[in-house]
Structure 1
Amino acid sequence: MMKAWMNRQLISFIYGVIILIPIELLLNIYRFSRIAKVSISTTIMISSVLIIISTLFGLLWTYKLTAIWVKTKRQAFLPVLLWFPYFLSLMYLIATLFPMTYEGDRPNPVSGLIMIASIIIYPIVVFGFQMLGMHKKSSEELL
Protein backbone atom coordinates (compact mmCIF):
# COMPACT_ATOMS: atom_id res chain seq x y z
CA MET A 1 0.00 0.00 0.00
CA MET A 2 2.73 2.46 0.97
CA LYS A 3 4.84 1.46 -2.02
CA ALA A 4 1.94 2.15 -4.40
CA TRP A 5 1.45 5.56 -2.75
CA MET A 6 5.15 6.39 -3.17
CA ASN A 7 5.04 5.25 -6.80
CA ARG A 8 2.10 7.58 -7.52
CA GLN A 9 3.89 10.44 -5.81
CA LEU A 10 7.06 9.81 -7.82
CA ILE A 11 5.13 9.76 -11.10
CA SER A 12 3.36 12.98 -10.09
CA PHE A 13 6.68 14.60 -9.15
CA ILE A 14 8.16 13.66 -12.52
CA TYR A 15 5.13 15.14 -14.29
CA GLY A 16 5.65 18.34 -12.28
CA VAL A 17 9.31 18.51 -13.32
CA ILE A 18 8.44 17.78 -16.97
CA ILE A 19 6.42 21.00 -17.23
CA LEU A 20 8.71 22.98 -14.92
CA ILE A 21 11.77 22.64 -17.18
CA PRO A 22 10.21 24.19 -20.32
CA ILE A 23 8.53 26.96 -18.35
CA GLU A 24 11.72 27.89 -16.50
CA LEU A 25 13.72 27.80 -19.73
CA LEU A 26 11.12 30.01 -21.38
CA LEU A 27 10.97 32.52 -18.52
CA ASN A 28 14.76 32.79 -18.11
CA ILE A 29 15.91 33.20 -21.73
CA TYR A 30 17.31 36.68 -21.11
CA ARG A 31 19.04 35.65 -17.90
CA PHE A 32 20.70 32.63 -19.53
CA SER A 33 21.78 34.78 -22.47
CA ARG A 34 23.30 37.42 -20.18
CA ILE A 35 25.08 34.95 -17.88
CA ALA A 36 26.43 32.75 -20.70
CA LYS A 37 27.32 35.83 -22.80
CA VAL A 38 25.75 34.40 -25.95
CA SER A 39 23.16 35.88 -28.29
CA ILE A 40 19.49 35.54 -27.53
CA SER A 41 18.90 33.58 -30.74
CA THR A 42 21.52 31.01 -29.67
CA THR A 43 19.95 30.79 -26.23
CA ILE A 44 16.50 30.29 -27.75
CA MET A 45 17.82 27.54 -30.04
CA ILE A 46 19.55 25.70 -27.18
CA SER A 47 16.50 26.12 -24.93
CA SER A 48 14.20 24.78 -27.65
CA VAL A 49 16.33 21.66 -28.07
CA LEU A 50 16.46 21.16 -24.29
CA ILE A 51 12.69 21.59 -24.02
CA ILE A 52 12.02 18.98 -26.70
CA ILE A 53 14.53 16.48 -25.30
CA SER A 54 13.43 16.86 -21.67
CA THR A 55 9.72 16.67 -22.51
CA LEU A 56 10.07 13.59 -24.71
CA PHE A 57 12.37 11.81 -22.26
CA GLY A 58 10.16 12.65 -19.29
CA LEU A 59 6.91 11.60 -20.94
CA LEU A 60 8.40 8.33 -22.17
CA TRP A 61 9.80 7.66 -18.71
CA THR A 62 6.46 8.28 -16.99
CA TYR A 63 4.72 6.17 -19.64
CA LYS A 64 6.98 3.23 -18.79
CA LEU A 65 6.61 3.79 -15.03
CA THR A 66 2.84 3.93 -15.39
CA ALA A 67 2.83 0.67 -17.34
CA ILE A 68 4.92 -0.98 -14.61
CA TRP A 69 3.53 0.48 -11.37
CA VAL A 70 -0.07 1.61 -11.83
CA LYS A 71 -2.61 -1.11 -11.14
CA THR A 72 -6.04 0.58 -11.31
CA LYS A 73 -7.63 3.43 -13.25
CA ARG A 74 -8.06 5.37 -10.01
CA GLN A 75 -4.31 5.21 -9.46
CA ALA A 76 -3.78 6.30 -13.06
CA PHE A 77 -6.02 9.34 -12.57
CA LEU A 78 -4.29 10.69 -9.46
CA PRO A 79 -1.17 12.09 -11.21
CA VAL A 80 -3.50 14.20 -13.38
CA LEU A 81 -4.19 16.19 -10.21
CA LEU A 82 -1.09 15.62 -8.08
CA TRP A 83 1.51 17.08 -10.48
CA PHE A 84 0.30 20.62 -9.79
CA PRO A 85 1.39 20.94 -6.11
CA TYR A 86 4.84 19.64 -7.04
CA PHE A 87 5.03 22.11 -9.91
CA LEU A 88 4.01 25.04 -7.69
CA SER A 89 6.41 24.14 -4.88
CA LEU A 90 9.34 23.67 -7.28
CA MET A 91 8.49 26.95 -9.04
CA TYR A 92 8.41 28.72 -5.67
CA LEU A 93 11.69 27.12 -4.63
CA ILE A 94 13.44 28.24 -7.82
CA ALA A 95 12.00 31.77 -7.53
CA THR A 96 13.19 31.96 -3.93
CA LEU A 97 16.68 30.57 -4.52
CA PHE A 98 17.29 32.53 -7.74
CA PRO A 99 15.45 35.84 -7.45
CA MET A 100 15.26 38.29 -10.35
CA THR A 101 17.90 40.90 -9.49
CA TYR A 102 18.46 42.51 -12.89
CA GLU A 103 15.44 44.22 -14.48
CA GLY A 104 16.63 43.34 -17.98
CA ASP A 105 16.06 39.66 -17.23
CA ARG A 106 12.30 40.03 -16.86
CA PRO A 107 10.43 37.83 -19.37
CA ASN A 108 8.20 39.41 -21.97
CA PRO A 109 4.40 39.35 -21.40
CA VAL A 110 3.78 36.72 -24.09
CA SER A 111 5.82 34.24 -22.04
CA GLY A 112 3.17 34.44 -19.33
CA LEU A 113 0.41 33.67 -21.83
CA ILE A 114 2.34 30.67 -23.14
CA MET A 115 2.88 29.48 -19.56
CA ILE A 116 -0.84 29.79 -18.74
CA ALA A 117 -1.83 27.92 -21.89
CA SER A 118 0.70 25.18 -21.11
CA ILE A 119 -0.63 24.75 -17.59
CA ILE A 120 -4.22 24.54 -18.88
CA ILE A 121 -3.39 21.96 -21.59
CA TYR A 122 -0.93 19.89 -19.55
CA PRO A 123 -3.49 17.90 -17.48
CA ILE A 124 -4.94 16.60 -20.75
CA VAL A 125 -1.48 15.43 -21.81
CA VAL A 126 -0.89 13.78 -18.42
CA PHE A 127 -4.27 12.05 -18.62
CA GLY A 128 -3.49 10.80 -22.13
CA PHE A 129 -0.14 9.34 -21.13
CA GLN A 130 -1.62 7.77 -18.00
CA MET A 131 -4.33 6.09 -20.05
CA LEU A 132 -1.79 4.97 -22.67
CA GLY A 133 0.29 3.40 -19.91
CA MET A 134 -2.79 1.63 -18.55
CA HIS A 135 -3.73 0.45 -22.05
CA LYS A 136 -0.24 -0.96 -22.58
CA LYS A 137 -0.51 -2.83 -19.31
CA SER A 138 -3.96 -4.25 -20.12
CA SER A 139 -2.92 -5.29 -23.64
CA GLU A 140 0.16 -7.07 -22.24
CA GLU A 141 -2.04 -8.96 -19.75
CA LEU A 142 -4.18 -10.28 -22.60
CA LEU A 143 -1.15 -11.89 -24.29
Structure 2
Amino acid sequence: MKTTKTKGENMNYVAKLNIASVLYGIGAWVIVECMLNVYRISRISGWDISNVTNSMMILLLISVGIFTFVFSRYTKNHLGARKIRYLTTILWVPYFSLFVYGFRVLFPMVDRGDVPPPIVGLVIMAGLVIYPIYIAFVTMLSMNNEKVAESKG
Protein backbone atom coordinates (compact mmCIF):
# COMPACT_ATOMS: atom_id res chain seq x y z
CA MET A 1 0.00 0.00 0.00
CA LYS A 2 1.49 3.30 -1.08
CA THR A 3 1.28 6.14 1.39
CA THR A 4 1.30 9.73 0.29
CA LYS A 5 3.29 12.38 2.05
CA THR A 6 1.52 15.42 3.44
CA LYS A 7 2.51 18.91 2.42
CA GLY A 8 4.16 19.51 5.80
CA GLU A 9 6.29 16.37 5.54
CA ASN A 10 7.42 17.34 2.06
CA MET A 11 8.31 20.87 3.21
CA ASN A 12 10.31 19.44 6.12
CA TYR A 13 12.16 17.24 3.66
CA VAL A 14 12.94 20.23 1.43
CA ALA A 15 14.30 22.09 4.47
CA LYS A 16 16.48 19.09 5.36
CA LEU A 17 17.66 18.90 1.77
CA ASN A 18 18.64 22.56 1.88
CA ILE A 19 20.46 22.09 5.20
CA ALA A 20 22.44 19.25 3.61
CA SER A 21 23.22 21.54 0.68
CA VAL A 22 24.41 24.26 3.07
CA LEU A 23 26.69 21.72 4.75
CA TYR A 24 28.12 20.68 1.37
CA GLY A 25 28.59 24.35 0.47
CA ILE A 26 30.44 24.99 3.73
CA GLY A 27 32.65 21.96 3.13
CA ALA A 28 33.74 23.19 -0.29
CA TRP A 29 34.07 26.78 0.92
CA VAL A 30 36.39 25.90 3.82
CA ILE A 31 38.71 23.96 1.54
CA VAL A 32 38.74 26.65 -1.16
CA GLU A 33 39.38 29.47 1.30
CA CYS A 34 42.23 27.54 2.92
CA MET A 35 43.83 27.14 -0.50
CA LEU A 36 43.33 30.79 -1.47
CA ASN A 37 44.54 32.36 1.76
CA VAL A 38 47.89 30.64 2.32
CA TYR A 39 49.86 33.84 1.67
CA ARG A 40 47.56 35.91 3.87
CA ILE A 41 47.85 33.43 6.74
CA SER A 42 51.64 33.41 6.33
CA ARG A 43 51.79 37.21 6.40
CA ILE A 44 49.48 37.62 9.40
CA SER A 45 50.89 34.75 11.49
CA GLY A 46 54.54 35.34 10.63
CA TRP A 47 55.02 31.67 9.75
CA ASP A 48 57.20 30.60 6.87
CA ILE A 49 55.18 29.90 3.70
CA SER A 50 56.27 26.23 3.68
CA ASN A 51 55.00 25.76 7.25
CA VAL A 52 51.65 27.32 6.35
CA THR A 53 51.39 25.20 3.18
CA ASN A 54 52.14 21.99 5.10
CA SER A 55 49.69 22.96 7.84
CA MET A 56 46.99 23.70 5.27
CA MET A 57 47.54 20.34 3.56
CA ILE A 58 47.16 18.52 6.89
CA LEU A 59 44.09 20.64 7.73
CA LEU A 60 42.56 19.89 4.32
CA LEU A 61 43.05 16.14 4.71
CA ILE A 62 41.57 16.18 8.20
CA SER A 63 38.63 18.36 7.11
CA VAL A 64 37.85 16.05 4.16
CA GLY A 65 37.67 13.12 6.58
CA ILE A 66 35.51 15.02 9.05
CA PHE A 67 33.22 16.41 6.33
CA THR A 68 32.79 12.95 4.79
CA PHE A 69 31.73 11.56 8.17
CA VAL A 70 29.37 14.46 8.92
CA PHE A 71 27.83 14.44 5.42
CA SER A 72 27.31 10.68 5.51
CA ARG A 73 25.69 10.74 8.95
CA TYR A 74 23.43 13.68 8.12
CA THR A 75 22.34 12.13 4.84
CA LYS A 76 21.66 8.78 6.47
CA ASN A 77 19.78 10.19 9.48
CA HIS A 78 17.79 13.02 7.91
CA LEU A 79 17.35 12.45 4.19
CA GLY A 80 16.42 8.78 4.16
CA ALA A 81 16.49 6.54 1.10
CA ARG A 82 14.70 8.88 -1.30
CA LYS A 83 16.36 9.39 -4.66
CA ILE A 84 15.68 13.13 -4.52
CA ARG A 85 18.51 13.49 -2.02
CA TYR A 86 20.89 13.33 -4.98
CA LEU A 87 19.69 16.88 -5.72
CA THR A 88 22.33 18.03 -3.24
CA THR A 89 24.89 17.44 -6.00
CA ILE A 90 23.54 20.64 -7.56
CA LEU A 91 21.98 22.58 -4.68
CA TRP A 92 25.29 23.22 -2.88
CA VAL A 93 26.47 25.63 -5.63
CA PRO A 94 24.38 28.70 -4.63
CA TYR A 95 25.34 28.33 -0.98
CA PHE A 96 29.01 27.94 -1.86
CA SER A 97 28.79 31.07 -4.03
CA LEU A 98 27.18 33.03 -1.20
CA PHE A 99 29.88 31.96 1.26
CA VAL A 100 32.69 32.91 -1.13
CA TYR A 101 31.07 36.25 -1.93
CA GLY A 102 30.43 36.99 1.73
CA PHE A 103 34.02 36.19 2.67
CA ARG A 104 35.36 38.41 -0.11
CA VAL A 105 33.14 41.29 0.99
CA LEU A 106 34.01 40.93 4.68
CA PHE A 107 37.73 40.24 4.17
CA PRO A 108 38.93 41.84 0.93
CA MET A 109 42.51 41.34 -0.24
CA VAL A 110 44.19 44.64 0.54
CA ASP A 111 47.79 43.48 0.12
CA ARG A 112 48.93 42.54 -3.41
CA GLY A 113 51.16 39.87 -1.87
CA ASP A 114 48.10 37.93 -0.73
CA VAL A 115 46.95 37.16 -4.27
CA PRO A 116 47.38 33.42 -4.92
CA PRO A 117 49.19 32.18 -8.03
CA PRO A 118 47.04 31.30 -11.07
CA ILE A 119 47.64 27.56 -10.69
CA VAL A 120 45.61 27.60 -7.48
CA GLY A 121 42.58 28.68 -9.51
CA LEU A 122 43.04 25.73 -11.84
CA VAL A 123 43.30 23.33 -8.90
CA ILE A 124 40.16 24.82 -7.36
CA MET A 125 38.25 24.56 -10.64
CA ALA A 126 39.26 20.90 -11.00
CA GLY A 127 38.19 20.25 -7.42
CA LEU A 128 34.84 21.95 -7.91
CA VAL A 129 34.19 19.87 -11.02
CA ILE A 130 34.91 16.68 -9.06
CA TYR A 131 33.00 17.79 -5.93
CA PRO A 132 29.51 16.78 -7.20
CA ILE A 133 30.88 13.29 -7.85
CA TYR A 134 32.16 13.23 -4.26
CA ILE A 135 28.71 14.33 -3.02
CA ALA A 136 27.01 11.60 -5.05
CA PHE A 137 29.50 9.05 -3.70
CA VAL A 138 28.88 10.09 -0.07
CA THR A 139 25.12 10.00 -0.68
CA MET A 140 25.36 6.55 -2.23
CA LEU A 141 27.65 5.37 0.58
CA SER A 142 25.20 6.49 3.25
CA MET A 143 22.35 4.75 1.43
CA ASN A 144 24.37 1.52 1.13
CA ASN A 145 25.20 1.63 4.84
CA GLU A 146 21.49 2.07 5.53
CA LYS A 147 20.60 -0.96 3.41
CA VAL A 148 23.30 -3.08 5.09
CA ALA A 149 21.99 -2.08 8.53
CA GLU A 150 18.42 -2.99 7.50
CA SER A 151 19.47 -6.41 6.17
CA LYS A 152 21.30 -7.23 9.43
CA GLY A 153 18.40 -6.11 11.61
Measured against the shorter chain, the TM-score band is over 0.9
Alignment of structure 1 residues 84-99 onto 2, 5 Å: 84-99=93-108
2:12 counterpart of 1:3: yes
| Counterpart for residue 66 of structure 2 | 57
| Counterpart for residue 108 of structure 1 | 117
| Counterpart for residue 77 of structure 2 | 68
Moved more, 104-113 or 63-72: 63-72
| Counterpart for residue 132 of structure 1 | 141
2:47 counterpart of 1:38: yes
- Contact persistence 1:9–1:82 (CA under 8 A): yes
Q: CA RMSD in A?
A: 1.1
Structure 1 outlier segments of 4+, above 6 Å: none
Q: Letter of the aligned partner of 2:29 in structure 1?
A: L
- Contact persistence 1:76–1:134 (CA under 8 A): no
> Structure 2, unaligned stretches of length 5 or more?
1-8
> Structure 1, unaligned stretches of length 5 or more?
none
- TM-score, structure 1 as length reference: 0.94
For 2:95 and 2:83, locate their aligned partners in 1 and report how far apart those are by CA, in whole Å: 19
Report how many aligned residue pairs link the two structures. Answer: 143
- TM-score, structure 2 as length reference: 0.89
User: Rg larger in 1 or in 2?
Assistant: 2
CA-to-aligned-CA distance 1:58-99 (integer Å, 9 cap, x gap): 111110111111224333211111111111110000011000
Match of 1:20 among 19, 24, 29: 29
CA-to-aligned-CA distance 1:3-40 (integer Å, 9 cap, x gap): 22222111111111111111111111100000001100
For 1:123 and 1:140, locate their aligned partners in 2 and report how far apart those are by CA, in whole Å: 26
